[in-house]
């Protein structure tokens, strides 16, 4: 009996880590970040990939950006022509 209770409690402690692998929303550019944040509100975290004055046309993924992409549940971007650097990199990660 105690063994079963221990197994259930142990499983519940680590279940959150298993299911929480892909969490959050990642968006490519600042205007899209504002739109998605307004829709989502405070229910989920929205992260920005291309920050500030960086150009979406010539953006190059860093290892930290790749980690963000891999750990996000959803990724929003405008289109392949605007963010041409993301076109080849994002589909390779999917």
pLDDT tens column, 18-70: 455 556 888 888 988 899 999 888 888 888 888 877 877 777 888 888 888 88
Domain 21-93 has CATH 3.40.50.1980: yes
Lowest mean pLDDT across 37-41, 70-74, 88-92? 88-92
Residue 50 in contact with residue 28, Cβ under 8 Å? yes
Element (H, E) at 58: none
For residue 42, give the 3-state DSSP assignment. coil
């Amino acid at each position: 009996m105690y063994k079963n209770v221990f197994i259930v409690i142990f499983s519940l402690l680590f279940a959150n880590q298993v299911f929480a692998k892909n969490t959050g929303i990642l968006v490519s550019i600042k205007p899209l970040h504002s739109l998605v944040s307004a829709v989502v509100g405070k229910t989920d975290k929205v992260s920005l990939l291309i920050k500030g004055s960086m150009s979406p046309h010539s953006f190059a993924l860093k290892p930290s950006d790749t980690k963000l992409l891999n750990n996000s549940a959803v990724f929003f971007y405008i289109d392949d022509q605007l963010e041409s650097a993301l076109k080849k990199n994002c589909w390779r990660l999917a």
